[in-house]
Structure 1
Amino acid sequence: MVSPIEIQKALGGMEYPADKDAIVKHAESSGAGDDVMEALRGLPERSYERPTDVNEAISNS
Structure 2
Amino acid sequence: MGAAHTIVPEVLDALKDVSYPADRDRLLTAAREAGAPDEVVRALRGIPAEAYGGREEVARAVRATPDSGPGHDTTQRAPQARHRGRPGVAQHLREEPKTPIHEEFDR
Cα distance between partner residues in 1 of 2:30 and 2:53: 15
Distance apart, 1:43 and its partner CA: 1.1
1:24 aligns with 2:28: yes
- 2:97 matched residue in structure 1: none
Structure 1 stretches of 4+ moved >4 Å: none
The gaps in structure 2 that reach 5 residues or longer are: 66-107
CA RMSD for the aligned pairs? 0.9
- 1:51 matched residue in structure 2: 55
1:34 aligns with 2:38: yes
Distance apart, 1:38 and its partner CA: 0.3
TM-score scaled by structure 1?
0.93
Q: Return the index of the structure with the highest Cα Rg.
A: 2
Aligned pair count reads 61
Between the aligned residues of both structures, percent identity stands at 34
TM-score scaled by structure 2?
0.55
1:13 aligns with 2:26: no
